[in-house]
Amino acid sequence: MPLWSDTRYNKGMAKQNTHLEHLEDDILNQGSNGGRNAIAFLRELGKMLTEPVSGVGVTTKWDGAPAVICGKHPSTGRFFVGTKGVFAKMPKLCMNDEDVDRFYSGELAKKLKMCLRLLPQVPMNGVLQGDLLFTKGDVSTRKMNGQKCHTFMPNTITYAVPVNTPMGKKVATSQLGIVFHTTYTGGPTLRDMKPGFGVDAKRMQASPNVAVFSSEFTDATDASRFNAAERGKYDLLVNRAEGSLKQASRFLDILQDQGEGKFMLSAMFKIYFNSFIRTGKPIVNAQKVATGFAAFYSAALDKEIQSKKQEATKKKYQTIKANGLKFLKSNGRAVYMTVASYMNLIAAKTVVVKQLGKVQDIGTYIKTPNGYRVTAPEGFVAIKSGSALKLVDRLEFSRANFTVEKNWG
């Protein structure tokens, strides 16, 4: 399937790529504008999975850790490594082992020192951001689904690379594996640099010590394409989401101004929805979930009130609680449509994730007490007009991310 070109998705985003939001969360982040944006993404994704050309691009989201940012500093020209802290007001830049020890400790410090020693061997322009996949000692060789593979588990997902493939042979000789997904250009400071999605991993294989994986989504056999019936069902899901969002749009805009601090209602809705994912419960009954939000909100405020010692502070949060519950009660129908919209967006997005997941060159597994279970990739990132949203089966991956034991510090 023809994919988007570098010029299409490398248009600079507005800020550093330190956090990507889930597509369905855009309605809570940006209200009705977020709803329109989510629908526009879904429409273009439908085109991408059916037609030769679309206005959206896709990269594969690797489950690496930690995030690594590296390259030559735009003002000094010195090579550095770091995590997302390089973009802080007081940046944590590591140009030698002493810098690493000053900012980090434990396993993370060891891995960053490996990055500092090996990544300068990789041909790169500008500053790159990616995710570390393995360092020396993290790779094992075992049979996965009857095939001998090199395996590594950087975070939640275990990756399996067949030993006889070109990348498998590369892994066997490498001391470090990484996947880059974002390029930063410009300056004169790191905070002034503009990000763009897209890194050509093929040009970065010169070092025998570093395996650079590609984040580019490529479907050479059209395995992810919709047939006519599938496209029709998908369009119905998107239409349903668009319809419920029209009924929720006014409420979603008002929601941005309700509450105070960490008890803003838009933020509380995100925490509430996330609580379902953490416990592995799908959001399937809009009315029940909508009704349950008031109790969730009330319990969170009660906990905050009980933690306060000053009577004036208690009264402050009691007022926030009372106003919030009054607002929710007077907007019961809109709360229901908000939950329905969230569910409908997830339904359409999940179809896209499953289609894209049909294309898989490297095995992905979840480690369980009984062995390894085949799973889809962590997810994908959709890019359109310089903005990006995550496409993740959260019930599958995010719940595992909350519960699977990690092997790095």
Place of tokens 């009984």: 370
Last residue of a domain, one of 167, 189, 214: 214
Q: Is a pLDDT exceeding 90 seen at residue 357?
A: yes
- Could you read off the pLDDT of 9-60 as tens digits, one per residue? 444 444 565 578 999 999 999 999 999 999 999 999 999 999 988 899 999 9
Same domain? 232 vs 253: yes
Residue 367 within a domain: no
Residue 374 within a domain: no
Closest Cα to residue 66, out of 99, 20, 115, 124?
115
Same domain? 181 vs 113: yes
Please give the residue range of the domain that contains residue 290.
6-59+223-355
Q: How many domains does the chain have?
A: 2
Same domain? 27 vs 136: no
pTM of the entire predicted model: 0.87
Same domain? 121 vs 251: no
Last residue of a domain, one of 312, 339, 355: 355
Q: What whole-number distance in Å separates Cα of residue 169 and Cα of residue 139?
A: 13
Residue 363 within a domain: no
Same domain? 264 vs 295: yes
The pLDDT value given to residue 197 = 84
Q: What whole-number distance in Å separates Cα of residue 374 and Cα of residue 352?
A: 19
Closest Cα to residue 68, out of 83, 56, 47, 55?
83
Same domain? 89 vs 137: yes
Range 92-96, long-range pairs (CB < 8 A, 24+ positions): 93/190
Same domain? 229 vs 202: no
Same domain? 40 vs 71: no
Residue 396 within a domain: no
The answer to whether the beta carbons of residues 28 and 90 sit under 8 Å apart is: no
- Could you read off the pLDDT of 54-91 as tens digits, one per residue? 899 999 999 999 999 999 999 999 999 999 889 888 89
First to last CA, the chain: 39
Same domain? 16 vs 84: no
Enclosing H/E stretch for 183: strand 176-185
Q: What whole-number distance in Å separates Cα of residue 129 and Cα of residue 125?
A: 12
Residue 377 within a domain: no
| Cα–Cα distance list, 62 to 141, 178, 188, 237, 369 (Å) | 20, 10, 30, 27, 23
- Could you read off the pLDDT of 154-163 as tens digits, one per residue? 999 999 999 9
Residue 392 within a domain: no
